[in-house]
Amino acid sequence: MAQRIAFVLKGYPRLSETFIAQEIRALEQRGLDVAIVSLRHPTDRKVHPIHAEIRAPVRYLPEYLYREPMRVWRAWREVRRWPTYREARTQWLRDWRRDPTPNRGRRFGQAVVLAAELDPRITQLHAHFLHTPASVARYAAALRRLPWSCSAHAKDIWTTPEWEKREKLVSCQWLVTCTAVNHAHLAALAPAGRVLLAYHGFDPSRFPAPESRRVDPSRPAVLLSVGRAVAKKGYDDLIAALALLPRDRRWRFVHVGGGRLRPRLQRLARRLGVADRIEWRGAMAQDELLAVYRQADIFVLASKVAADGDRDGLPNVLMEAMSQGLPCIATRVSAIPELIQDGVSGLLVSPVDPRALARALEDLMADPTRQQTLGEAGASRVRAAFAMGEGIDRIARQFGIDRRAAAE
């Protein structure tokens, strides 16, 4: 019987998680048999083209246990008779005493359903995100006596308590993370050799280099940012920076992305007198986004550490923008300096510093030659060092797939 790996995701499909979709598709192309298990149903109205290419079947667990009581009850009646149930339940109770939340209870219920309904061909569980998906995978793996592994990214690392990270790192077979900052943090908490580094990278086939890019100083500069309107993206700081630009500087700002903070940001833009220069386009699929990158002059991302510790890892949108020759301005947060070399392949400023961000924007808008130079250097860097192939190969090897053997 051929082996199959179950990928446990928080939600599927999601526009904001192209890095997960591109990984799954690339692993399928290398020969991995994947099944997707999602803790939530999709909420985005659009999907990326890559989602239509993924062959993996998708199973949705009960998002809230009370909505599917008979399904949960049948699974529990089955699983409670297994010899592994007592140990898994003890593990969950130990976690629940330290984190007595409805979320913790829901994760064990989802794990019971997953374990009861699991395809017998599944030989390993793999969670994307170290927080709730890893909890479900860990409990279900204990019930099924299966190995489990994990991909850790950003918020899941920095908002999970240290005791929980340590115990999951002992329990899992291996964990891969997508930045050197993440790797250093998690490796210090884990058994030796347990944590691996593999950059997500971008897919050059979906973001081919434009034929040419010319700066036209005769028209207003188009400033672009792509990201959800959430605290860690720093859009309040960016709007404050835009309001500090000289009044005679000609520009317009385009934001692409959803997010619950957008109404608040729109009110801030009106209060600061820049609302008439801002275009809010909402969420877009990847094929639509390519044209938007090519119409822009400068890409800007004002990431910061949110009050709850949430922060970006290495935003894919920066790699995508750089691949199109867009000069990028970003902040020195998390792994962004691993990608952008300040003054060489882009510009970096301190987070939560609208004045510094405004100066960088003004200086770059005033210098078309530098825009061209930084854009070309950024494109060269991202294509040379951050194409996704190497990272995918490393993950494939962890699943026992050799690219050369898969191609034969």
Rounded to 10 degrees, what is the CA torsion of 111, 123, 27, 408? Answer: -170
Q: What is the mean pLDDT of residues 337-366?
A: 98
Nearest-angstrom CA–CA distance, 315 and 257: 13
**CA 376 centroid distance within chain:** 26
Count of CB atoms within 10 A of residue 296's CB?
Answer: 23
Within 8 A by CB and 6+ apart from 76, the residues are 109, 112, 116
What's the pLDDT tens digit per position in 174-233? Answer: 999 999 999 999 999 999 999 999 999 989 998 999 987 778 888 999 999 999 999 999
Count of CB atoms within 10 A of residue 194's CB?
Answer: 16
DSSP conformational letter for 62: P
Residue ranges of the domains in the chain?
Answer: 4-200+388-407, 221-385
> What is the pLDDT at residue 16?
87
Return the SS3 of 10: coil
> Is 50 exceeded by the pLDDT of residue 335?
yes
Strand positions, DSSP E, 360-403: none
> Is 50 exceeded by the pLDDT of residue 408?
no
What's the pLDDT tens digit per position in 25-84? Answer: 999 999 999 999 999 999 888 888 999 999 999 999 999 999 999 999 999 999 999 999
Residue predicted with more confidence, 248 or 407: 248
Backbone dihedral angles phi then psi of residue 196, each to the nearest 5 degrees:
-115, 155
Token digits of residue 105: 């209870």
Q: Name the CATH topology of 221-385.
A: Rossmann fold (3.40.50)
Does pTM top 0.75 for this prediction?
A: yes
What's the pLDDT tens digit per position in 276-288? Answer: 999 999 999 888 9
Q: Look-up: residue for tokens 């969950």?
A: 92
Q: β-strands 148-152, 221-226: how paired?
A: unpaired
Q: What is the mean pLDDT of residues 332-348?
A: 97
Q: What is the mean pLDDT of residues 143-166?
A: 97
**Continuous segment of H or E residues that includes residue 4:** strand 4-9
Q: What is the mean pLDDT of residues 352-366?
A: 98
> Is 80 exceeded by the pLDDT of residue 404?
no
> Is 50 exceeded by the pLDDT of residue 314?
yes
CA-CA distances (angstroms) from residue 179 to 127, 231, 257, 347?
17, 21, 23, 19
Q: Look-up: residue for tokens 């489990």?
A: 148
Cis bond before residue 315 (omega within 30° of 0): no
Long-range contacts, 270-273 (Cβ 8 Å, 24+): 272/239, 272/240, 272/242, 272/243, 273/243
> Is 80 exceeded by the pLDDT of residue 372?
yes
In percent, the amount of the chain with pLDDT more than 90 equals: 90
Token digits of residue 310: 């949430």
CATH code, residues 4-200+388-407? 3.40.50.2000
Nearest-angstrom CA–CA distance, 30 and 201: 17
> What is the pLDDT at residue 352?
98
Same topology, domains 4-200+388-407 and 221-385? Answer is yes
What's the pLDDT tens digit per position in 315-330? Answer: 999 999 999 999 999 9
**151 close to 129: Cβ distance less than 8 angstroms:** yes
Q: What is the mean pLDDT of residues 270-279?
A: 98
> Is 90 exceeded by the pLDDT of residue 141?
yes
pLDDT grade for 1, boundaries at 50, 70 and 90: very low
Residue predicted with more confidence, 18 or 348: 348
